[in-house]
Amino acid sequence: MSEGTTRRTVLGGAAAAAGMAATAPAQAQGAVTGQGSGTVAIRDPRSKYTSTPFPEQKQTWPALQSKMTPVPDCGEKTYRGSGRLAGRKALVTGGDSGIGRAAAIAFAREGADVAINYYPTEEPDAREVKSLIEAAGRKAVLLPADIRTERACTKLVADAVRALGGLDLLVNNAAYQQSKEDISQISDDQFVRTFETNIFAIFRISKAAIPSMPPGSVIINTGSVNSYDPGEELLDYASTKGAILIFTKGLAKQLAKKGIRVNMVAPGPIWTPLQVAGGQLPGKLGEFGQDTPLGRAGQPAELAPLYVMLASDEASFSTGTAVGAHGGKGNP
């Protein structure tokens, strides 16, 4: 099989799966025609969510999603599952808000029990996710922890395995992002914290989890458009995202021998708490996502179907891959 054919197959599968999983949001928002036949009207992606510039706002890191204006859409009211992950046991880091929250909600509504990790001060957002998971009839486990140390990562995995009765889905999503115009403004403390959170933790959590993961398990890492096209104001953050891409590809080759798949989702500008807690330069929040070909930033709910697709057995031949969601700008 040629490289071109492989890429078309993977991305085509992602688009098809995303289309299926996105049916519910369209229905919930009144975009249905011919309800009896199950036909869903197509929607213009440029206007599915607001393209109005976001108002300037700032919160102390790590920020609470519930205090953002507007509050991000993580599929709380729209995502409907179809049993694609029935009986699975998932651990999602950064699962209280943003992309991790969207994945956790979708996993639960697809039939998985879900443990979420989050920074301790994010407890209010985490409690909301717990309620949403339980409302889907699944087990929810809250595991607050600062994952910047090996000990914390090892304990996190052990706690998740014990509480869930096993582990076969791992989403490494937690991240730290601070924008700086020049390398001279990046303190050594910031540089170290970014690497500890974004790539050291992924290595440590994956290493701790793998012995408990049976064949058929899946690891999904959250990369970024910065894995391919680094933003000049995100030098340290983008460097970790490049590392995540290579880590994903290398680990996938190793774990293929164990029957465990490893993939990456590469988001572009997505409206999450990262952006209001130092992720954007002062005064620039109104420009966030405006330069994408679709003319807007994405919402976490738009990524949830990609995580579900990669986690499901339907994507059983996809490993070592990266799937993008960037509004038409960037790679892959």
Residues known to be catalytic: 237
Q: How far apart are CA 240 and CA 257, in angstroms?
A: 26
Spatial CB neighbours of 216, under 8 Å, sequence gap ≥ 6:
168, 259, 260, 313
Q: What are phi and psi for residue 222, nearest 5 degrees? A: -90, 110
- Asked whether the bond before 70 is cis by omega within 30 degrees of 0, the reply is yes
Angle subtended at Cα 280 by Cα 98 and Cα 175, rounded to the nearest 5 degrees: 40
Q: How far apart are CA 201 and CA 204, in angstroms?
A: 5
**DSSP helix/strand/coil, 204:** helix
- Tokens in use for 61? 């890191």
Q: How far apart are CA 12 and CA 71, in angstroms?
A: 31
Are residues 63 and 273 in contact, defined by beta-carbon separation less than 8 angstroms? yes
* E-only strand ranges, the chain: 89-93, 113-118, 140-144, 169-172, 218-222, 261-267, 322-325
Q: How far apart are CA 129 and CA 125, in angstroms?
A: 7
**DSSP helix/strand/coil, 187:** coil
DSSP 140: E
- Tokens in use for 187? 């303190």
- Identity (one letter) of the amino acid at 177? Q
